[in-house]
Amino acid sequence: MFGQTFTGLKPAPTVSVSSARGPSSSFPSILKPDIMAPGSLVLASWIPDLRAAQTGRSKFVYNDFNMLYEISTACSHTCAAIRSALVTTANPLDNTLNPIRNGDEDYQFASPLDMGAGQIDPNRALVPGLVYDANPQDYVNGMAPYVSRVANEVRFRKEAREAILHHDYELQRKQG
């Protein structure tokens, strides 16, 4: 499965071309991604009864592990305190002590919309010094302005649609 491991590459890490970028399309005011994690092909736990691979037309491979490309899953399902520790201790510098770069052809410096706070540093995350322990209500409060704007837009569209339908009805009645 693994062809070769490369060590000592400089600069490293870089943001994978296939990595998800921010801002979040669902909530543009929320910075995404939170952090980046090492690797482009990450060996990760997998749902045992879900196909991990297919060999041929009808032969499927099931496994407890799978190789995943989506490094944006690095911090997807963690409690707020753990996520906070990972984010506040992430490293925005590569191994040459320069800002992390995008791994594309331009090799430009990565922005927080590319890499979040930087690459996770598990050792530093054990003693973060500062933790934002958010609860579910904090997230609701943070999303409230967005939800309110969307609700107003939906209400406006509904009222506009009803006005158009009413106008069409009145036209047909007068012509009728």
pLDDT at residue number 40 = 66
pLDDT at 175: 78
The ranges assigned to domains in the chain are: 14-133, 135-176
What is the predicted pLDDT for the residue at 34?
A: 81
pLDDT of residue 30: 72
Task: Note the Cα 153 to chain centre separation in Å.
Answer: 26
> Per-residue confidence of the chain (176 residues) as pLDDT tens digits?
556 777 888 888 888 777 778 887 777 777 778 888 766 666 677 777 888 788 888 888 888 877 766 555 555 556 778 888 888 999 999 999 999 999 887 889 999 888 889 998 989 999 988 777 777 787 777 777 777 777 778 788 888 888 787 777 777 777 76
The residues near 176 (Cβ < 8 Å, ≥ 6 apart) are none
Q: Is 101:11 a contact under the CB 8 Å cutoff?
A: yes
Q: Which value, to the nearest 10 degrees, does the dihedral of the CA atoms of residues 93, 96, 99, 103 take?
A: -100
